[in-house]
Chains A and B, each alone.
Chain A
Amino acid sequence: MFKKVYNWIDERLDITPLWRDVADHEVPEHVNPAHHFSAFVYCFGGLTFFITVIQILSGMFLTMYYVPDIIHAYASVDYLQHQIPFGKIVRGMHHFGASLVIVMMFLHTLRVFFTGSYKAPREMNWVVGMLIFFIMLGLGFTGYLLPWDNKAYYATKVGVEIAASVPYIGEYIASFLYGGDIVGAQTLTRFFAIHVFFLPGALIAMLAAHFIMIRRQGISGPL
């Protein structure tokens, strides 16, 4: 049955080569932790992706309860964390996962740097990787306003003030991020939109580019 459906689709869309290419490509020995234990450093990229997937999933589930509104945001976070079974785990995954993503990404960046893997022909992939890094930091920054507690409030304030110190356009950046003159209702909805739509959209596009480039160029050779 499954086979029939698959064949029917494959006849029309020729999908076999797509996943065959992913499944069957050979992975060289020097990145395989089963051959050289030290090759575990090559796992950090994959782990970053794994945690990112957890972040996306847990974030999606959190928005089932969360409201980006200054009156209800705090109460809804409190409610989803403490009153809903497994709320502690789901919010914990999202909160601590954010830190873990940064750690994994940092280690991955260092691995790429110290193995010189960013060198020709892989310069573009490094640049895309750095963009992913900045997007992740942006996600971290916009994310911690959302619970609307004191830390959220002041961290955002400080962050936006830093952006405001940019000459000429700083004030415009600040009022764009604030959605006005103060950290308030409009800031929260803005940060929410940026956190759940704009940055993840950019992130997914960048990740796709990152992976396509890896498939095109292959893993860098052994040292």
Chain B
Amino acid sequence: MSNHEHQDSKHQPVQRKEMSRRQFLSYTLGGTTAFMVGGTVLPMVRFAVDPLLAKGGESTLVKVIEESKVTAEPQEVKFKVRQVDGWYKSETEKVAWISRDASGAIFALSPVCKHLGCTVFWNTHGRNEYDCPCHDARYSRDGKNITVANLPLDEYVVEIQDGFVYLGGIIANTRA
């Protein structure tokens, strides 16, 4: 469109590569279309993708069990968390498998299988392992993946106050 070769223009007729009127109109129409589509659709897209941009909610610690009751044998504890899901506020029940390791430290595993999200259970087949009912994934006492799954079971944040165990949010397994 613009011609940068001023110095040569005296000597020879400029070979301008001009746009045709039709092309110009087509580009303008394209731009207008983009403006109209953008003006209407962008707010809607931002509206729709909000869950992607929302920050994860902070999880509060919930009192679940007396410290003295936790043994080396994993036991299932259920606890309730207040869950805000959009406009729906509810109390949902969560499950943790809680036990002590060799050094006596308490840890809690989330029973959500890392393979495809079924719920694992301790010692279904008498092998002292966590077994997943769906695709026979197995995890050790520490939650380490033995077969099928490619990652160890997640852990809950554990805190101990005044002789009680408190569980918080989910973190990646630190033991396996």
Instruction: Report whether over half of chain B's contact residues are helix, strand or loop; otherwise say mixed.
Output: helix
Q: Say which one of A8-16, A79-87, A150-158, A185-193 lies at the interface with B.
A: A79-87
Once A54-B40, A57-B40, A57-B41 are accepted as A-B contacts, the answer to whether A86 and B46 lie under 8 Å apart by CB is: yes
A75 within 8 A of B: yes
Separation of A57 and B47 alpha carbons in the complex (Å): 12
Interface residues of B, CB < 8 Å — how many? 12
Report whether A90 and B87 are in contact in the complex, using a CB–CB cutoff of 8 Å: no
Q: Say which one of A58-66, A127-135, A139-147 lies at the interface with B.
A: A58-66
Among candidates A58, A72, A76, A83, residue contacting B44 with C-beta atoms closer than 8 Å: A58
Report whether A79 and B87 are in contact in the complex, using a CB–CB cutoff of 8 Å: yes
Report whether B50 and A90 are in contact in the complex, using a CB–CB cutoff of 8 Å: no
Contact with B along A150-185 (1 / 0, CB 8 A): 000000000000000000000000000000000000
Separation of A29 and B47 alpha carbons in the complex (Å): 41
Q: Give chain A's interface residues, CB within 8 Å of chain B.
A: 50, 53-54, 57-58, 61, 64-65, 72, 75-76, 78-80, 83-87, 89-90, 93
B43 within 8 A of A: yes
> Please, which residue of chain A has its CB at the minimum distance from the CB of B50?
A84
Report whether A79 and B86 are in contact in the complex, using a CB–CB cutoff of 8 Å: yes
Report whether A78 and B44 are in contact in the complex, using a CB–CB cutoff of 8 Å: no
Separation of A164 and B22 alpha carbons in the complex (Å): 58
Separation of A89 and B36 alpha carbons in the complex (Å): 15
Residues of chain A within 8 A (CB-CB) of B44 are: 57-58, 61, 86, 90, 93
Among candidates A50, A53, A72, A90, residue contacting B43 with C-beta atoms closer than 8 Å: A90
Q: Give chain B's interface residues, CB within 8 Å of chain A.
A: 36, 40-41, 43-44, 46-48, 50, 86-88
Report whether A65 and B43 are in contact in the complex, using a CB–CB cutoff of 8 Å: no
Instruction: Report whether over half of chain A's contact residues are helix, strand or loop; otherwise say mixed.
Output: helix
Among candidates A54, A76, A86, residue contacting B47 with C-beta atoms closer than 8 Å: A86
Least CB distance from A161 to B in Å reads: 31
Residues of chain A within 8 A (CB-CB) of B88 are: 72, 75
Residues of chain A within 8 A (CB-CB) of B48 are: 61, 64
Report whether B47 and A61 are in contact in the complex, using a CB–CB cutoff of 8 Å: yes
Residues of chain B within 8 A (CB-CB) of A72 are: 87-88
> Please, which residue of chain A has its CB at the minimum distance from the CB of B41?
A57
Least CB distance from A89 to B in Å reads: 5
Residues of chain B within 8 A (CB-CB) of A89 are: 43, 47
> Please, which residue of chain B has its CB at the minimum distance from the CB of A61?
B44
Residues of chain B within 8 A (CB-CB) of A61 are: 44, 47-48
> Beyond A75-B87, A90-B47: 14 further Cβ-contacts under 8 Å?
A50-B36, A57-B41, A57-B44, A61-B47, A64-B47, A65-B86, A80-B47, A86-B43, A86-B44, A86-B47, A87-B47, A89-B43, A90-B44, A93-B43
